[in-house]
Amino acid sequence: MSRVFEALTKAKQERERPEDALTEDSRPFENEEKSPEIVPLHGDWSLGQNGNLRPAPIALPRNSLAPKTWRERIEELVFGWDLRRYATHPIVALEEESPASEQYKILREQIKRLRTEAGIRTIAVTSPVKRDGKTTVAVNLAAAMALEYEEKVLLIDADLRAPSAHRFFQEEGWPGLTEYLGASSLGGIKSLVRETHLSGLRFIPAGKPSRFASELLAKDRMRHLFEEIQRELPDHVVIIDSPPVLATPDPLVLGRQVDGVILVIRAGKTPKDYLAKALSAFNSNKILGVVLNGADLGLGSKYYYYYSSNGRG
């Protein structure tokens, strides 16, 4: 974990430089989404020339984007629907040959290996605090996984206090999970699941914001939801956008119901003690890895950092 802390410390020092010492290109932007760096707990690693552990490069086909159906082509022509063109909430995993896109594909391959070796199927994505980019990572990871022809993904927005994942798809946020969990009748999830314009990716929005999010997520109905997903969508990987772990108890409630948790931190923003507290909040066996978001992927940067816990990694 020390290498993660070193990266955060260095980024913090850069942020604390005098305002006039910052160039126009180095000024931080609140909504800027740079390439994430993967900090996995599993995988094959080799020793690089500079002494840092790094994964073997992964060769990916250029035509990994699934071909569009005739209906999708007509809809795009008439309505202009194309996930890659959403300016306010872009899905960068769909970009061709971009550093961010390749990083999400690396994360996808790490998750794919965990699924094979450990049977990981339901994954919650959270962060220590707000604005670390956990929703962006959850949506882009789901999109990157859905790019594979044989992969089917269900993305669930479980941030019932401040839902935002629906904006990436230009969709209404309700009805959704809040309405499903708060309903008295035992209706099915088929009415909640929405198709997206990316083949293989389905989506359940959060619904209207609720002050009683943790109580709703702790209900037996949430457990029944996972059981119904297992029954109705048995071939889907489930990615869940979860609220920040240090702000609400919601991720801890979800953590007991999922197979694993991915923690997202932002370079130059997330304090080191927040990272330590967030990691200690979960059972160590639940943490799949850490994603360092907002990292500078210049030629001189360190692309990957290694994190190990309980002798694993």
Virtual CA dihedral for 290, 295, 298, 301, nearest 10 degrees? -50
- Run of H or E including 104: helix 99-118
C-alpha 279 chain-centroid distance: 16
* pLDDT tens digits, 47-60: 334 433 333 333 22
Spell out the residues 6+ positions from residue 46 whose beta carbon is closer than 8 angstroms to its own. Answer: 53, 54, 55, 56
Percent of the chain with pLDDT over 70: 65
Rg of the chain's alpha carbons, rounded to an integer? Answer: 19
List the one residue out of 293, 268, 194, 221 whose CA is nearest residue 12. Answer: 268
Whole-number Cα distances in Å, 153 to 147, 198, 236, 240: 10, 10, 5, 11
Task: Assess contact for 196 and 169: CB atoms under 8 A.
Answer: yes
Tell me what pLDDT residue 304 has. Answer: 38
pLDDT digits (tens, 9 = 90+) for 270-287: 999 999 999 999 998 999
- Residue 46: C-alpha distances to residues 55, 102, 307, 310 (Å): 6, 19, 14, 20
pTM for this prediction? 0.72
Judge whether 141 and 134 are in contact, CB under 8 Å. Answer: no
| Of residues 63, 65, 44, the one with CA closest to residue 53 | 44
Three-state DSSP class for residue 149: coil
| Confidence category of residue 61, pLDDT binned at 50, 70, 90 | very low
Query: How does residue 38 score in pLDDT terms, banded at 50, 70 and 90?
Result: low
| pLDDT at residue number 97 | 79
Q: How far apart are CA 11 and CA 32, in angstroms?
A: 15
pLDDT digits (tens, 9 = 90+) for 64-118: 344 555 544 554 454 344 444 445 567 988 888 788 899 999 999 999 998 889 9
Cα–Cα distance, 184 to 165 (Å, whole number): 26
Q: According to the model, what pLDDT value does residue 54 have?
A: 37
In whole angstroms, give the CA distance from residue 263 to residue 290: 5
CB-CB neighbours of 190 under 10 Å: 9
pLDDT surpassing 70 at residue 29: no
Q: What is the pLDDT of residue 39?
A: 56
